[in-house]
Structure 1
């Protein structure tokens, strides 16, 4: 049974934006989330549990990327979230250096 045409994205650029945001953007957000956690909490425990939770978070972010109407907005949201998580990671490393 073929997909209903009204639910398909007509623009190839929107399709590219959604696919790349789902794969790359979701991965970046998932990894930055776990890096931010590792900089504030026990990094060994976070790294061990991130082998499972990073994949689950990535899969959820992939689904969310395809639910949005505009792929470029999803990219913007993912980059903004990544930037916020990077700031948390940066200040966590300044406060709790691993030396």
Structure 2
């Protein structure tokens, strides 16, 4: 049974944006989230926990990327979230440096 045409993305650039946002953007957000956590909390515990939770978060972000109407907006949201998490990570490393 083929998919209903009204639910398919007609533009190849939108399809490319959604697929790359799901795979690459979701991975960047998941990794930056755990790096930000590790800079403020016990980094050993966060790294051990991230082996499972990063994969789960990445899978959720992959699904979310395909729920959006515009793939480039999803990319923008993922990049903004990554930037905020990077700032948290940066200030966490300045406050709590690993020796």
TM-score, normalising length from structure 2?
1.00
* Residue equivalent to 1:13: 13
Question: Aligned partners of 1:22 and 1:48: how far apart in 2?
Answer: 24
Q: Secondary structure at the match of 1:3?
A: coil
Measured after TM superposition, the shift of residue 14 of structure 1 is 0.1
For 1:25-64, what aligned pairs fall within 5 Å after superposition? Answer: 25-64=25-64
Count residues with an aligned counterpart. 99
TM-score, normalising length from structure 1?
1.00
* Residue equivalent to 2:73: 73
Question: Aligned partners of 1:38 and 1:53: how far apart in 2?
Answer: 13
Runs of 4+ in 1 over 6 A off after TM superposition: none
Q: Secondary structure at the match of 2:69?
A: coil
Question: Aligned partners of 1:68 and 1:61: how far apart in 2?
Answer: 11
| RMSD of aligned Cα (Å) | 0.2
Question: Aligned partners of 1:61 and 1:87: how far apart in 2?
Answer: 20
What stretches of structure 1 of length at least 5 have no aligned partner?
none
